[in-house]
Amino acid sequence: MTSASICWALRGGDTFNLPPVGRHGNLPLPIVLVTSAFGQTDLSWRGSAAVGRRRNKTLSSVFTEVAETQPLAVIWRGGRRKRRRKADWDECEEGGKIEASGVKGKVQKEFLSHVSSRRAPHSSSHINMKYILVTGGVISGIGKGIIASSVGTILKSCGLHVTAIKIDPYINIDAGTFSPYEHGEVYVLDDGGEVDLDLGNYERFLDIRLTKNNNLTTGKIYQSVINKERRGDYLGKTVQVVPHITDAIQEWVMTQAKISVDNDNMEPEVCVIELGGTVGDIESMPFVEAFRQFQFKVKRENFCNIHVSLIPQPNTTGEQKTKPTQNSVRELRGLGLCPDLIMCRCTTPLETSVKEKISMFCHVEPTQVICVPDVSSVYKVPLLLEDQGVVSYLCQRLSLPVEMRPTRMLTKWKEMADRSDRLLEHVSIALVGKYTKLSDSYTSVIKALEHSALAINHKLEVKYIDSADLETTTLQAEPVKYHEAWQKLCSSDGVLKKPFLGVCLGMQLAVCEFARNVLGWADANSTEFDPETEHPVVIDMPEHNPGQMGGTMRLGKRRTLFKSGTSVLRKLYGNVEYVEERHRHRFEVNPVLKHHFEEKGLQFTGQDVEGERMEIVELEEHCYFVGVQYHPEFTSRPIKPSPPYFGLLLAAAGKLQSYLTKGCRLSPRDTYSDCSGSSSPEVEISDLKFLTL
């Protein structure tokens, strides 16, 4: 708006020009100009961004239409006889009062009731969608997910709305039937999608809510194309990988990129796409070809490629080797994609000579070679990228509407990264599970524990215990392993009563143990393990279609109502009436036996909306004994820890009662910014200011 005027077109072609700057300096907001002859005029914008024209509409209808999309600054002008007079105008700050000169009576009320005063740096309609493709080379598991999440984080801190898509080249429709030993945990989304764990990284870093269509697999694409072929959509054409599969991939990405993932329901402006596997894999060839075509479809200024590669450093020589990266980039170029940024994963920072060598042989500037060494905390990765000019490069390369300002950036992430290095006190948590041999099987659980430990200023120590090692059969077969497992369990933090959190099956087993030891039902069990038990404490409560393995469980976000005002977990949630958390299970506590447990002190403090499913269980007269049927770890965020895990860490550190007594407040030294992950930039966080369009 520094060079373009905003005009009000009156009847007869007469115009009214607004000075572009005015007394408030550069105005980074759209403007609405109103006259008393509104119904007979056209609203038009002259400048770099055409918003459109609205003919013969009432003041109310136009304000309603415009306020839903963008306007935050308003200009009111009086009757037509005064139309050549300079207009008075006021910028509407966030949370401020809307003021306008010349607005009176009924029209004023209509005006004030329809114009939004919410601050928005710019409208997504002003810029084209920007796509950032993240590919990997040399080895899989190199950290593409963390890097993709970090790129999205630094762009979101600039006020941009960011979404993410993960592409997995396997033929499975989704991750629901995967063994945890194959791909780690199955991450569950609000809509019940069972997806790759990398989507958990996106949600945690960006504080967004994704859908199952943000995880694209070969199986989904082929299923979609085959279904179209069966319906006759291709009109008898021979269906091939090119163009039908590649076109379907591009359409999927372009459609999903526009789906809002923020709480403010704004359309994303940047889409970060992670292509799983490594360049050259036969499984990913259709996707690479699709993006080769895609870069020309959306134009160069709207697409860029970040390639993540490994810089090995053999212990024998201690020299950083660039040949694997050279070969990886050469293969990527041979497939039609040219990397704009090469992010080098290494154990130690890149030497200047190594960076220059990569620059020379990979045909990029030295500033386009980014060093991503191993760090003590993943919270440092966005800071590493920002320090090396990634934001500046992407803004220039993709023509993003932001410019650098010499102030601090990413304050929250710096605080978390600094705190993680300063922690002195330790808290020990025993994680008993079925798949503890691979830590990725419980990625979200570990992250939720880390978020909570960081919030209370403690360093987390997790002791993995295979649940099978605690069985008496292990005592007979491998007594050493049996005693080691129990020793780990006994060494976790707690004095006489161990703080306990049971999640999903963990809650079910806790109820079974209570039935055996307190109620005296020696054979109490789950029908999942013993269908013929006389005391079916846990039963199958179907909410699924039998006969199909994938997606057959109670999946996704469900509402849980608190039934007790004295519930510890309710207090940790902020004394709300209900919570909405994600589920993934088939079996539940038998509601018929509920009263037997509550008579002995095991209270079911949370139930579903119908009151048929037991969602939360708490033991009276215990420091912290909580079981939840849902998976709270899926909604934990670095600056907003999950309440059940937060309570567990507080109890383990001996701070729970103090926390509850103080009205659920931490001491000043234990607190840090609890701002939400909204896309709206915060003054103390953003290094960028918005350019007017």
Catalytic positions, please? 504, 631, 633
pLDDT of residue 27: 37
CA 34 and chain centroid, separation: 40
Q: Does residue 647 form part of some domain?
A: yes
- Residue 26 in tokens: 């550069």
Please answer whether residues 47 and 4 qualify as being in contact, where contact means their C-beta atoms are separated by less than 8 angstroms.
Answer: yes
- Alpha-carbon distance of 639 to 146, in angstroms, equals 17
CA–CA separation, 135 and 142 (whole Å):
10
Band the pLDDT of 477: cuts 50, 70, 90.
low
Does 680 map to a domain? no
The model's pTM: 0.75
Q: Residue 658 falls within a domain, yes or no?
A: no
Model pLDDT, residue 327? 94
Regarding whether 570 and 536 lie in a shared domain, the answer is yes
Q: Which tokens belong to 356? A: 């220059």
Tell me: pLDDT of 229 over 70. Answer: yes
Quick: pLDDT tens for 261-276. Answer: 988 888 999 999 999 9
Instruction: Kindly report, residue by residue over 315-349, the tens digit of the pLDDT.
Output: 888 889 999 999 999 999 999 999 999 999 999 99
Q: Is the pLDDT of residue 95 over 60?
A: no
CA distance 615 to 607: 5
- Bridge-based pairing of strands 270-275 and 587-589 is unpaired
Angle at 273 between CA 197 and CA 290, to 5 degrees: 120
Instruction: Reply yes or no on whether the pLDDT at 280 is more than 60.
Output: yes
Quick one: 68 and 147 in the same domain? no
Rounded Cα distance between 111 and 99, Å, is 10
For 6-23, how does the pLDDT look when each residue is reduced to its tens digit (9 = 90+)? 333 323 333 333 334 333
Contact 68, 92 (CB under 8 A): no
Average pLDDT, the chain: 76
What span, in angstroms and rounded, lies between the C-alpha atoms of 128 and 81?
Answer: 40
Cβ–Cβ contacts within 10 Å for residue 404, how many? 14
Q: In this structure, are 339 and 375 located in the same domain?
A: yes
Instruction: Residue 558: name the closest of 621, 634, 492, 627 by CA.
Output: 634
Q: Decide if pLDDT at 465 tops 90.
A: no
Residue 478 backbone phi and psi in degrees, to 5: -135, 80
pLDDT score of 676: 36
**Total Cβ atoms within 10 A of residue 104:** 10
Name 466's bridge partners: 433
When mean pLDDT is compared across 142-156, 401-415, 520-534, the lowest value belongs to: 401-415
- The answer on pLDDT for 76 being more than 50 is no
Q: What is the DSSP letter of 637?
A: B
622-639 tens-digit pLDDT = 889 999 999 999 999 988
Q: Which residue has the higher pLDDT, 214 or 92?
A: 214
Residue 693 in any domain: the answer is no
Residues 104 and 130 in one domain: no
- The answer to whether the CB of 541 falls within 8 A of the CB of 667 is no
Cβ atoms 315, 348 nearer than 8 A: no
Q: Give the strand pairing for 7-9 and 15-17.
A: antiparallel
* pLDDT for 559: 93
What does the buried/exposed string (b/e) look like for 411-430 if buried means 16 or more CB atoms within 10 Å of the residue's CB? bbbbebbebbeeeeeebbbb
- φ, ψ for residue 687 (rounded to 5)? -95, 5
pLDDT tens digit string along 413-463?
Answer: 888 888 888 888 888 888 888 888 887 889 999 999 999 999 888 989 988
Helix axes 198-206, 144-156, angle to 10 degrees: 20
Query: Where do the H-state alpha helices sit in 138-245?
Result: 144-156, 180-183, 198-206, 218-231
Share of the chain above pLDDT 90, in %: 42
What pLDDT shows up at residue 346? 93
**What is the mean predicted confidence (pLDDT) over 513-541?**
88
In a domain, 322, yes or no: yes
Token duo for residue 117: 């005063």
**Residue in the structure block whose two tokens are 């306007």:** 71
Looking at 138-142, 371-375, 411-415, which range is the least confident one?
A: 411-415
Q: Above 70 in pLDDT, residue 100?
A: no
- Asked whether residue 330 is assigned to any structural domain, the reply reads yes
CATH code of the domain in which 368 resides: 3.40.50.300
- Examine the domain organization and report whether 533 and 397 are in the same domain: no
Pull the structure tokens for residue 171: 């033929």
Ramachandran category for residue 674: left, alpha or beta (phi over 0 → left; psi -120 to 50 → alpha): alpha
- Among residues 83, 114, 145, the one where a domain terminates is 114
pLDDT at 158: 86
Q: How many other C-beta atoms can be found within 10 angstroms of the C-beta atom of residue 240?
A: 10
Q: Which two tokens stand for residue 67?
A: 């306020």
Q: Are residues 190 and 292 in the same domain?
A: yes
Least confident of 447-461, 605-619, 650-664: 650-664
Give the per-residue pLDDT at 565.
Answer: 81
pLDDT band at 412 (very low <50, low <70, confident <90, very high): confident
> What is the spatial distance between Cα 169 and Cα 447, in angstroms, rounded to a whole number?
26
Average pLDDT over residues 289-305: 95
Q: What is the mean pLDDT of residues 280-294?
A: 94
Nearest by Cα to 164 from 152, 173, 174:
152
Structural contact between residues 311 and 350, judged by C-beta atoms closer than 8 angstroms: yes
The tokens describing 363, both together, are 């045909």
pLDDT number for residue 552: 61
- Claim to verify: residue 435 and residue 527 sit in the same structural domain: yes
Of 230, 325, 322, 239, give the one whose Cα is nearest residue 279: 325
Q: What is the pLDDT of residues 344-372, one digit of tens each?
A: 999 999 999 999 999 999 999 999 999 99
- Assess whether 360 and 471 both reside in one domain: no
- Same domain, yes or no, for 131 and 77? no
Whether residues 413 and 448 fall in one domain: no
Strand ranges (DSSP E) for 523-624?
Answer: 525-526, 536-540, 554-562, 578-585, 587-589, 602-608, 614-619
CA distance 529 to 540: 11
Rg for the chain, CA atoms, rounded: 29
pLDDT band of 570, cuts 50, 70, 90 = very high
C-alpha dist (Å) from residue 497 to 501, 627, 646: 13, 16, 18
* pLDDT over 80 at 531, yes or no: yes
Residues paired with residue 616 on neighbouring β-strands, in sequence order: 606, 628
One DSSP character per residue, 103-165 reads --HHHHHHHHHHS-----S--GGGS--EEEEEEE-SSSSSSHHHHHHHHHHHHHTTT--EEEE
Tokens read off for 121: 């740096």
Domain that holds residue 93: 7-114
Is the pLDDT at 97 greater than 50? The verdict is no
Angle at which helix 285-297 crosses helix 246-256, to 10 degrees, equals 60
Measured CA to CA, the distance from residue 509 to residue 515 in angstroms comes to 10
Q: Please, are residues 417 and 377 in contact by the beta-carbon 8 Å criterion?
A: yes
Residue 288 sits in the same domain as residue 393: yes
Q: How many domains does the chain have?
A: 3
In a domain, 688, yes or no: no
Asked if the structure places residue 454 within a domain, the reply is yes
In this prediction, residue 66 carries a pLDDT of: 42
Same domain, 294 and 354: yes
- Locus of tokens 């990765």: 381
